[in-house]
Each structure stands twice: as C-alpha cells, then as structure tokens.
Homo-oligomer: A and B are copies of this chain.
C-alpha cells in the first residue's frame, strides 16, 4: 500500500513463469502484438505507435522527451511535485528551453496557466497523477487549447486507476509504468504516441536505446512480418504485462476505475474519521494515491516502520518539501480492495491511539 509497486494480480505472477521464448519467436511476437493492442484499449487510443518500453516508468518519461525535443525547443512543464520536476531535468538534458509553470505541492495546476505560459511551445507537458502529492492535474482542457503544441502527459500513476482518454483529450504522448494501477511488477513503460507526434520527431534521438523509430520497427508492426531486431525484449515482463492487461480488460476498464474510486473514497472517509487531515482538496484527489498529513507530535517514520513490521503493510513517506509531513497510501491495481482499506484503517487506529 505504498506509492507503488503495488501487489501484482495473481495471474500476473503466474505469467512470469511461462517458458522464456526468443524475441523473434512467432508465438512471442503474437503475444507482443496482443499486448500492444490491449495497451491501446487501456490508453483509449488508436495510435499505431503504442508499445511497452524496456525500462521502468522513468524510461517512459525519457523516451517521451528525447524523441521530440531537441536543442532550443520550447517546452512548457507543469511543476507541482517530484515528477514535474523530473520532467524539467529530462527536458533540459535534451537542450530544451524549459518554461516552468509552478504550483504548490498538493494543489492542481490551472490549465490556463500552462496554455498561456508561452506563445508557441513545441511541447506542453504535465503529470496526470502526481505520485508525490496525490494530486490530479486536469488534462482535457490542455488538449482543447494546445494549438500547434504537442501534449505530453505522464500517466504513470493514473493509467488503470482513473480514466485516461488519450485520443479523447488530444494527448500526443502518454506513458505509464507497470507497477501502479496495472497490477504488474515494475520493469516496463507503456507508451503511446500520436501520428502528429511522430511527424515532429527530432532527426536523431540522443538515445539509441529509447529511439522510438527503431523500437517501432521491431515492436509496432502488427500483423507484419518485417520486424527489425532492435534490442532483446524483456520476455518475462512482457508476459506479465500481457496478463495484467488481460485481468484488467476482463473486469472491464470502467469497473476497474469504479473499484479504485470506491476504495479511495472509503479510505478518505476512514482517515478523516480517525481525525486525520487529507492534503488534497476533494475535487482533485486521487483514489489510488492518498496523501494524509502526519498529526503533530506523531513519529512519521516510526508509524511506517510499525506498520511494516507489525502488520506487513508498506506505506510511503513524503518527498521533497513534504518529507516528514505526510504519508502516501496506495490503492493500486490488485491492492485496490476494500479489505486492504479496512486492514490499514484498523492498524492505523491501533498505532495512533493515544
């Protein structure tokens, strides 16, 4: 119940043990194609270039930038937590002129501020669900107002937990990680790019490993036979993602979102009943990642340690300016169950009792 990884679905753990095939084996590439198709359903997109990258969520972030941002390109970035900050670091390493739009940690960024930050950015980038603060930033208005810019969205903690409408919201580049609401161990970064984004690729990405033109020639040729080897796909992790997406789509994307919503609401209500204060305003809270203020006089790290040692429950601490100030509680994927909410609330009640 930390900010991720969560507990993988049992079907995912089983899939990990499937015999390892070669990355050009016909059976494996069929499974890879099916995985990409399932990702399209979960991102709600028709983008051809929708693939799992061979790295964790942060590799998805890096791939999102290095393929479209070159020296001097203007990139507007929303910064209200660790991952917006990380975007600035990644973009500036590409040589971008970064325009920061800052907001207090725990508050959402107003879309108008992002849209008005520069007259003609190449990219507007924002984090959908800030794992460091539990805030949801609004995406749809950015797609409406983006003009010529590409809209780049970090969906690491949102995908599979709350609705993501890549095509419906006009998102050009979105990436995620497997270990949050997809219910799979960490290791892959699903990514999707619109044709519009592909048209504006830099001539040559500074990264060979994350060069999406080369990756697409191996991974995004559905039904095609002319696959060009790029690097060896992480076979077992692709099995795991395939299985996790299968569980999710069988339950139904709407039903999964509803399960996360119900669990999140139960947790929020329960925490407030314990007299605790939530960091984020109700309108922009995430059901899958709850941030709660540590009461005065309570040993923040001590409570986390006791939860882990006595109850076998991991929760996260705060990062950056929120270090020592908050706890972060995840209800992601298979972990988003009411019984987990009840267990945690019971444990917290025992530990916080005066």
Chain B residue nearest in CB terms to A87:
B208
A177 proximal to B (CB < 8 A): yes
Provided the pairs A5-B22, A20-B8, A207-B62 are in contact, do residues A185 and B235 lie with their beta carbons within 8 angstroms? yes
A170 proximal to B (CB < 8 A): no
Q: Which of B62, B186, B207, B208 contacts A232 (CB 8 A)?
A: B186
Chain B residue nearest in CB terms to A315:
B22
> In the complex, A61→B14 CA distance in Å?
31
Contact indicator B314/A186 (Cβ below 8 Å): no
A227 proximal to B (CB < 8 A): no
Stretch from A49-57, A139-147, A292-300, A338-346 forming part of the interface with B: A49-57
- Interface-central residue, A19, A22, A210, A231, by most chain B CB under 10 Å: A22
Q: Is the interface of A mostly helix, strand, loop or mixed?
A: loop
Contact indicator A2/B16 (Cβ below 8 Å): no
- Interface-central residue, A20, A21, A62, A236, by most chain B CB under 10 Å: A236
Contact indicator A231/B58 (Cβ below 8 Å): yes
- Interface-central residue, A7, A55, A94, A177, by most chain B CB under 10 Å: A55
Q: Which of B2, B13, B57, B89 contacts A231 (CB 8 A)?
A: B57
Count of interface residues, chain A, beta-carbon cutoff 8 Å:
55
Q: Which of B16, B61, B230, B233 contacts A16 (CB 8 A)?
A: B16
Contact indicator B93/A206 (Cβ below 8 Å): yes
Contact indicator B185/A20 (Cβ below 8 Å): yes
Residues of chain B within 8 A of A58, CB atoms compared: 208-209, 230-232
Q: Which of B4, B6, B89, B209 contacts A55 (CB 8 A)?
A: B209
What are the 9 A-B residue pairs with the smallest beta carbon separation, nearest first?
A: A187-B234, A58-B231, A185-B236, A16-B16, A62-B209, A186-B232, A90-B208, A55-B55, A2-B22
